[in-house]
């Protein structure tokens, strides 16, 4: 199974751990990483050049202007489409709030349920897992998830976790056109999937995988005011796709 994981990077000079990626790659040579420099103004691009020179599993795409996370991931997907030799294309956050070993857990679940095309990490706090999240964000997330479930008409638990893997048969269609939302593009991708194959079919091929570990990392680009934009973005999605 060939997989490429896109890592969107915007001013990640202080947070991007080269050693974490190098160590993981040594034991998982079938996993490639595409680092997308999203118009960073710090030394991120130099770090990505250095990292990419250390292994054939690492490549980078340098965007001169900031596109935002959604745009950076889309540009990464379209860049990979030129080769089109991957079974799955995914994306993880550069700060590794979701550790890289979760990729292997995703693969394990994919191999058990081979009809799944849209795999999502889920920050489900439970015994035996290490999910560290501020209570305020957790409760806001539960309210938000309820609204999203009503909109999408499927019982989704956590759309906003920054760890996704999507099958090659669907990923290029989902990212073909620019996304209309900046903060809720994960929700928009599911809306696009539903539009493409139908509600019932989407429910059968979306898999939420509870993470074993997740923690909030200092320096997040997401600000408290961005939560206030969420209802407006949900309205935009509803108008566009429903």
What backbone torsions phi and psi does residue 109 show, to the nearest 5 degrees? Answer: -70, -35
Q: Quick check: 228 pLDDT over 80?
A: no
pLDDT, residue 25, reads 96
Only one residue has tokens 């996370």, namely 69
Residue pair 72/36 in contact (Cβ under 8 Å)? The answer is yes
Cα dihedral value 102, 103, 104, 110, nearest 10: 110
The 10s digit of each residue's pLDDT in 56-104 is 999 999 999 999 999 999 999 999 998 778 999 999 999 999 999 999 9
Three-state SS for 150? helix
Structure token digits, residue 34 = 């595409």
pLDDT, residue 182, reads 87
Q: What is the spatial distance between Cα 31 and Cα 23, in angstroms, rounded to a whole number?
A: 12
Which CATH code for domain 3-241?
Answer: 3.90.550.10
The 10s digit of each residue's pLDDT in 123-157 is 988 999 999 988 877 778 888 888 999 999 999 99
pLDDT average, residue stretch 2-18:
96
The 10s digit of each residue's pLDDT in 172-213 is 999 999 999 988 999 999 999 999 999 999 999 999 999 999
Domain residue extents for the chain: 3-241
pLDDT, residue 78, reads 97
DSSP lists the bridge partners of residue 238 as none
Residue pair 162/122 in contact (Cβ under 8 Å)? The answer is no
Structure token digits, residue 221 = 């680009």
Structure token digits, residue 93 = 């956050």
Q: pLDDT: is 113 or 11 the higher one?
A: 11
Q: Quick check: 2 pLDDT over 70?
A: yes
CA nearest neighbour of 68 among 239, 229, 240: 229
Q: What is the spatial distance between Cα 213 and Cα 192, in angstroms, rounded to a whole number?
A: 29
Q: What is the spatial distance between Cα 122 and Cα 44, in angstroms, rounded to a whole number?
A: 28
């Amino acid at each position: 199974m060939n997989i490429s994981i896109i890592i969107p990077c915007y001013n990640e000079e202080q947070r991007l751990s080269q050693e974490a990626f190098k160590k993981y790659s040594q034991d998982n040579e079938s996993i490639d990483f595409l680092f997308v420099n999203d118009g960073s103004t710090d030394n991120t691009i130099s770090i990505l050049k250095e990292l990419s020179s250390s292994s054939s599993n690492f490549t980078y795409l340098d965007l001169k202007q900031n596109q935002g996370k959604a745009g950076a991931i889309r540009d990464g997907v379209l860049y990979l489409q030129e080769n089109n030799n991957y079974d799955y294309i995914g994306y993880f956050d550069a700060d590794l709030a979701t550790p890289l070993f979760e990729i292997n857990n995703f693969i394990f679940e994919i191999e058990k349920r081979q009809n799944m095309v849209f795999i999502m990490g889920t920050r489900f706090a439970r015994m035996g897992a290490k999910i560290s999240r501020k209570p305020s964000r957790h409760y806001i997330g539960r309210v938000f998830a309820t609204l999203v479930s009503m909109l999408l008409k499927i019982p989704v638990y956590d759309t906003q976790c920054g760890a996704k893997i999507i099958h090659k048969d669907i990923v290029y269609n989902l990212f073909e056109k620019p996304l209309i939302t900046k903060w809720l593009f994960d929700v928009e991708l599911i809306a696009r999937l539903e539009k493409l194959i139908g509600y019932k079919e989407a429910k059968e091929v979306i898999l939420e995988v509870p993470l074993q570990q997740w923690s909030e990392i200092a320096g997040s680009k997401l600000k408290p005011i961005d939560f206030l934009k969420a209802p407006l973005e949900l309205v935009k999605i509803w108008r566009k796709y429903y």
